[in-house]
């Protein structure tokens, strides 16, 4: 402990702030810090006796085998605490200020002494608790499983054998869910294919047979049939295009811009009064206003007088009789209609039979259309499927032999369209956008005359 030397100032230490400010406690803090370090790390080496620092080696100098060393090392390692519990151990030699701490007792420690004695007596008499019996059973099963387990280097199972069958697989009464549950963890692979994958997307064949007229040496009849089908398809396309032009472009007549503006002016001015019409209307309005003023000045009302005449008793009685008569007529008409409907039962039955026949025909037509639609491509996307059509050649282009045959169509494109037609791929369009043209130019500050600076014009002329 270092004692501070020096003349102290006589200052007031009345308050805590003044005491802390004018009191020098550095030597006391240093002494306490040394004490705390000794408690945490131990006493200094000069104060510790040699018996605690050094250990006397009493082992023999004979060479020991690696096996004995490993056994001894294993014993030492077993006696040491686990590394996982090192975080729970104290890292200082400072004793715990609380001498007695509460600890959670184990279930065995919490048991009453009487319960322990009763349990021991039951075990001696052959009455075992469920936990004890269950533990013995689990231990027995574990030992059996351990015996059946393959040891390292043993290959008792043939993993490539295809005869891995289970009795439940051929059981007709077992539910599919039950089969999957029983086959789990048996080593037999349980494969479940989705229902959509099991069904065919289309009834069309993968490779359709080509038309006989597409041969390199077809007969005249087959070639003419092929050309006829191609011409019919082309006529359909032309007809559709003409129809679109007729209902869009040809519906409107062509006029010049001046005619269009004139027509618009005439159309917008419809219903507006001209000057002559306005004068006539003004004279009529003035005449009517003069007549009204004359009537008002003479004291006569413009509208005729209205009297509140009430109906007499006789008029009300006749009105009531008339309403009763109308109600009777309606009731009589309803009864006649019911009788007429009874006589019309046969006609109604005929109408119902005709309606049923009509519905049956519609059902048959729907079934036929459904069967036809199975052979057509479905709408899998916003783009409609477009068939390429059959490849054909005109009569003068047919070679007659394989050497001089001309190439028509593409095999890759044909397979791609076949996948779309069979609903395996969705129809699509090319999504490649055109790249904008980049205008290239050289900035004036970066221009470089290569003939003068790099190539030297005089050297080029000499080489020429």
Q: Is this structure's pTM higher than 0.75?
A: no
Cβ-based neighbours of 76, under 8 Å, separated by 6 or more: none
Cβ-based neighbours of 204, under 8 Å, separated by 6 or more: 375, 421, 422
- Domains of the chain, by residue range, sit at 108-148, 165-199, 214-253, 317-388+412-423
Q: How confident is the model at residue 464 (pLDDT cuts 50, 70, 90)?
A: very low
pLDDT at 288: 64
Whether 174 and 168 have beta carbons less than 8 Å apart is answered as yes
pLDDT at 142: 95
* 20-31: burial string, b at 16+ Cβ within 10 Å, e else: eeeeeeeeeeee
Range with the lowest mean pLDDT among 366-375, 432-441, 445-454?
A: 445-454
Q: Between 363 and 456, name the one with better pLDDT.
A: 363
In angstroms, the CA 215 to CA 400 distance is 9
Structure-block tokens of residue 317: 């009685």
User: Taking 70 as the threshold, does the pLDDT of residue 260 lie above it?
Assistant: yes
Q: Between 254 and 234, name the one with better pLDDT.
A: 234
Q: Between 370 and 402, name the one with better pLDDT.
A: 370
In angstroms, the CA 16 to CA 25 distance is 14
Q: What pLDDT, in 10s, does the model give residues 51-86?
A: 888 888 777 665 555 555 678 888 888 888 888 888
Mean pLDDT of 5-16: 75
Q: Between 447 and 174, name the one with better pLDDT.
A: 174
Q: List % helix, strand, coil for the chain (3-state, nearest 5).
A: 55, 0, 45
Q: How confident is the model at residue 232 (pLDDT cuts 50, 70, 90)?
A: very high
pLDDT at 293: 63
pLDDT at 48: 82
pLDDT at 462: 46
Name the nearest CA neighbour of 255 among 247, 246, 264: 264
User: Taking 90 as the threshold, does the pLDDT of residue 39 lie above it?
Assistant: no
Range with the lowest mean pLDDT among 140-144, 184-188, 377-381?
A: 184-188
Q: What is the mean pLDDT of the chain?
A: 82
Using a pLDDT cut of 90, give the percent of the chain over it. 25
**159 backbone dihedrals φ, ψ, rounded to 5°:** -70, -15
Whether 227 and 392 have beta carbons less than 8 Å apart is answered as yes
Range with the lowest mean pLDDT among 205-209, 309-313, 319-323, 398-402?
A: 398-402
pLDDT at 214: 86
Structure-block tokens of residue 361: 């025909």
Helix axes 313-343, 345-373, angle to 10 degrees: 60
Largest CA distance in the chain: 158
Q: What pLDDT, in 10s, does the model give residues 180-190?
A: 888 887 777 77
Looking at residue 111, what DSSP letter applies? Answer: S
CA atoms within 13 A of residue 82's CA, in its CB half-sphere? 3
pLDDT at 463: 44
Q: How confident is the model at residue 231 (pLDDT cuts 50, 70, 90)?
A: very high
Name the nearest CA neighbour of 95 among 152, 9, 154, 36: 36
Q: What pLDDT, in 10s, does the model give residues 151-174?
A: 888 887 776 766 667 788 888 888
């Amino acid at each position: 402990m270092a004692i501070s030397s020096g003349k102290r100032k006589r200052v007031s230490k009345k308050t805590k702030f003044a005491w802390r400010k004018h009191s020098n406690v550095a030597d006391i803090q240093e002494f306490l810090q040394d004490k705390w370090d000794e408690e945490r790390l131990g006493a200094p080496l000069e104060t510790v006796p040699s018996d605690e620092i050094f250990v006397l080696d009493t082992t023999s100098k004979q060479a020991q085998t690696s096996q004995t060393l490993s056994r001894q090392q294993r014993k030492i390692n077993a006696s040491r605490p686990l590394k996982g519990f090192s975080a729970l151990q104290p890292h200082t030699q400072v004793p715990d200020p609380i001498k007695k701490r509460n600890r959670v007792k184990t279930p065995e420690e919490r048991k009453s002494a009487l319960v322990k004695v009763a349990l021991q007596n039951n075990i001696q008499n052959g009455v075992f608790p469920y936990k004890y019996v269950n533990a013995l059973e689990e231990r027995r099963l574990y030992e059996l499983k351990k015996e059946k387990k393959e040891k390292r280097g043993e290959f008792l199972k043939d993993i490539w054998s295809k005869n891995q069958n289970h009795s439940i697989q051929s059981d007709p009464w077992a539910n599919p869910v039950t089969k999957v549950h029983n086959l789990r963890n048996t080593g037999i692979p349980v494969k479940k294919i989705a229902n959509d994958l099991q069904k065919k997307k289309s009834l069309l064949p993968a490779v359709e047979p080509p038309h006989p007229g597409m041969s390199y040496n077809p007969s005249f009849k087959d070639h003419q049939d092929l050309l006829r089908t191609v011409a019919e398809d082309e006529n359909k396309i032309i007809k559709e295009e003409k129809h679109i032009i007729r209902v869009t472009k040809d519906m409107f007549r062509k006029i010049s811009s001046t005619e269009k503006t004139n027509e618009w002016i005439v159309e917008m001015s419809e219903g507006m009064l001209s000057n002559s019409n306005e004068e006539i209307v003004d004279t009529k309005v003035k005449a009517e206003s003069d007549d009204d003023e004359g009537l008002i000045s003479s004291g006569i009302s413009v509208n005729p007088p209205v009297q509140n005449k009430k109906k007499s008793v006789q008029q009300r009685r006749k009105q009531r009789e008339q309403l009763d008569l109308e109600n009777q007529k309606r009731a009589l008409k309803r009864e006649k209609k019911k009788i007429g409907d009874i006589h019309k039962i046969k006609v109604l039955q005929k109408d119902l039979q005709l309606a049923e026949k009509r519905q049956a025909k519609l059902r048959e037509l729907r079934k036929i259309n459904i069967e036809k639609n199975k052979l057509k491509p479905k709408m899998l996307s916003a783009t409609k499927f477009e068939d390429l059509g059959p490849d054909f050649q005109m009569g003068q282009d047919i070679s007659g032999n394989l050497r001089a045959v001309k190439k028509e169509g593409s095999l890759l494109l044909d397979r791609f369209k076949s996948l779309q037609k069979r609903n395996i791929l969705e129809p699509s369009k090319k999504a490649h956008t055109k790249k904008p043209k980049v205008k290239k130019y050289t900035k004036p500050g970066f221009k470089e005359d290569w003939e003068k600076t790099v190539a030297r014009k005089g050297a080029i002329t000499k080489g020429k």
